[in-house]
């Protein structure tokens, strides 16, 4: 990208001036500047640009509505909000409005510029690489849920295991960056981690592959950081690079996710072919799932979402209730089997290996087989 063309939208002339003053990097070029109102909407719809930068030094309100309206009309631009640090509810709303990145307006000039450039470059690379990605057969499958304990790791580990034992080339990336448990589930107590890889400053395929640990089943595992404080070393660019590179070599790349929808999670979700949204039959889990579907819609990722019900039979809520509430038919329903699940975790052996006859194992195996038929 030669220079990044920015449309700057802020209500007060003072804010517009202040924000222009922050854009000191010569790669950033303001091509128009206006108020985020109806007139602004007209201007922003017609203006060739790469980024819409909406700014305010107060709490954003109408700014978010403006972002939402722009998001539905222009899929070719990156929408960025520059505002004082937002509380999590507002952040969630910002994401629902299609804002790619929220930058603290009180950051240094250099930080503001870097964040804008990273977000814009990332979006553009992604748009360019879409076609390239479509030509690979492999599948990047993300196991996601906004709630902990529903069975994301169980699902990721066992699907990966099932496919590895069907002679598929499988990678499993633990993107539960702070408290990853893939190593526990597969009895890999220690080894190189994603944080170690990032510190190498090389994102070549050969480097990435050298940080994979081979499990005896054949799964190639990338462990999450060994301590929560290392998690922040990992940036969305790293996630993009890992997944885009590995998909050229592996039949399947599974990603075990954390509950938070940060930049790295969004990068994984946007690169994925399939998002397995894991829910349990309890109200809290379903409520959270419904909200996360909205966020995925805002990110324009809804077509990739497939519903997985885990721990079926644990309550009076039925899979039919779940399907009605989430308006989706589950692709996989895994029965509740505490004995098999506990045995697996305690021994560090996939459930499919230590309890192959369990109905839960059978359902996961059947689903894995159906994936191979679809490729």
Ligand X SMILES: Nc1ncnc2c1ncn2[C@@H]1O[C@H](COP(=O)(O)OP(=O)(O)O)[C@@H](O)[C@H]1O
Name the site residues for ligand X (rule: CB under 6 A).
Answer: 145, 148-154, 181, 310-311, 334, 336-338, 341-342, 345, 360
Which is nearer to ligand X, 123 or 256 (by Cβ)?
A: 256
Spatial contact of 315 and 156, defined as CB atoms under 8 Å apart: no
310 binds, among Mg ion, ligand X, none (CB under 5 to 8 A by kind): ligand X
Q: How far is CA 65 from the centre of its chain?
A: 24
151 binds, among ligand X, Mg ion, none (CB under 5 to 8 A by kind): ligand X
Task: Name the one residue in this structure whose structure tokens are 């072919």.
Answer: 273
The least distance separating ligand X from the CB of residue 256, rounded to whole angstroms, comes to 7
149 binds, among Mg ion, ligand X, none (CB under 5 to 8 A by kind): ligand X
336 binds, among Mg ion, ligand X, none (CB under 5 to 8 A by kind): ligand X
What is the C-alpha to C-alpha distance for residues 216 and 165, in angstroms, rounded to an integer? Answer: 10
Which is nearer to Mg ion, 153 or 271 (by Cβ)?
A: 153
Contacting residues toward Mg ion, per CB under 5 A: 152-153
The least distance separating Mg ion from the CB of residue 289, rounded to whole angstroms, comes to 16
C-alpha closest to that of 116 among 93, 87, 82, 86: 82
* Three-class DSSP category at 269: helix
271 binds, among ligand X, Mg ion, none (CB under 5 to 8 A by kind): none
Which is nearer to ligand X, 208 or 368 (by Cβ)?
A: 368
CB-closest chain residue to Mg ion = 153
The least distance separating ligand X from the CB of residue 154, rounded to whole angstroms, comes to 3
The least distance separating ligand X from the CB of residue 213, rounded to whole angstroms, comes to 19
The least distance separating ligand X from the CB of residue 115, rounded to whole angstroms, comes to 30
The least distance separating Mg ion from the CB of residue 149, rounded to whole angstroms, comes to 8
* Three-class DSSP category at 278: strand
Q: Which two tokens stand for residue 118?
A: 């990273």
Q: Which two tokens stand for residue 297?
A: 């819609």
356 binds, among Mg ion, ligand X, none (CB under 5 to 8 A by kind): none
Task: Name the one residue in this structure whose structure tokens are 């990156």.
Answer: 78
Angle at 261 between CA 203 and CA 255, to 5 degrees: 50
The least distance separating ligand X from the CB of residue 166, rounded to whole angstroms, comes to 21
C-alpha closest to that of 101 among 88, 82, 86, 87: 82
Which is nearer to ligand X, 283 or 342 (by Cβ)?
A: 342
Q: Is 266 exposed, middle or buried (0-12, 13-18, 19+ CB in 10 A)?
A: buried
Which is nearer to ligand X, 153 or 245 (by Cβ)?
A: 153
Spatial contact of 332 and 362, defined as CB atoms under 8 Å apart: no
154 binds, among Mg ion, ligand X, none (CB under 5 to 8 A by kind): ligand X
Which is nearer to ligand X, 117 or 345 (by Cβ)?
A: 345
DSSP label at residue 291: H
Q: Which two tokens stand for residue 139?
A: 């599948």
Which is nearer to Mg ion, 80 or 234 (by Cβ)?
A: 234
Spatial contact of 78 and 51, defined as CB atoms under 8 Å apart: yes
């Amino acid at each position: 990208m030669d220079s990044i063309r920015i449309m700057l939208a802020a209500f007060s002339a003072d804010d517009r001036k202040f924000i222009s003053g922050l854009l000191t990097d010569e790669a950033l070029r303001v091509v128009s500047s206006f108020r985020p109102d109806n007139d602004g909407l007209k201007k922003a719809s017609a203006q060739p640009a790469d980024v819409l930068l909406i700014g305010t030094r107060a709490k954003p309100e109408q700014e978010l509505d403006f972002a939402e309206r722009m998001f539905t009309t222009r899929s070719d631009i990156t929408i960025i909000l520059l505002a004082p640090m937002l509380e999590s509810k507002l952040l969630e709303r910002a994401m629902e409005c299609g804002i790619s990145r929220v930058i603290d307006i009180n950051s240094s000039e250099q930080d503001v510029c870097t964040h804008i450039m990273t977000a814009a470059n990332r979006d553009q690379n992604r748009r360019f690489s879409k076609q390239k990605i479509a030509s690979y057969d492999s599948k990047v499958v993300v196991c996601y849920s906004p709630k902990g304990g529903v069975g994301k790791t169980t699902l990721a580990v066992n699907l990966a295991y099932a496919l590895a034992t069907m002679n598929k080339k499988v990678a499993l990336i633990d993107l539960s960056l702070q408290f990853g448990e893939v190593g526990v589930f597969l009895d890999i107590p220690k080894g190189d981690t994603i944080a170690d890889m990032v510190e190498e400053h090389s994102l070549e395929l050969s480097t990435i592959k050298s940080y994979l640990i081979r499990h005896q089943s054949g799964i190639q595992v990338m462990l999450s950081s060994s301590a929560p404080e290392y998690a922040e070393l990992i940036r969305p660019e790293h996630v993009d690079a890992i997944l885009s590179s590995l998909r050229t070599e592996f039949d399947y790349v599974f990603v075990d996710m954390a509950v938070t929808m940060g930049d790295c999670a969004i990068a994984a979700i946007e690169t994925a072919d399939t998002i397995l949204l894991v829910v349990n039959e309890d109200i809290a889990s379903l409520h959270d799932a419904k909200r996360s579907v909205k966020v995925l819609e805002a990110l324009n990722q809804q077509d990739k979402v497939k519903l997985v019900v885990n721990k079926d039979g644990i309550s009076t809520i039925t899979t039919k209730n779940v399907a009605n509430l989430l308006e989706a038919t589950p692709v996989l329903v895994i029965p509740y089997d505490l004995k098999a699940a506990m045995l697996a975790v305690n021994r560090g052996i996939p459930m499919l290996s230590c309890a192959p006859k369990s109905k839960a194992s059978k359902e996961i195996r059947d689903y894995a087989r159906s994936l191979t038929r679809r490729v």
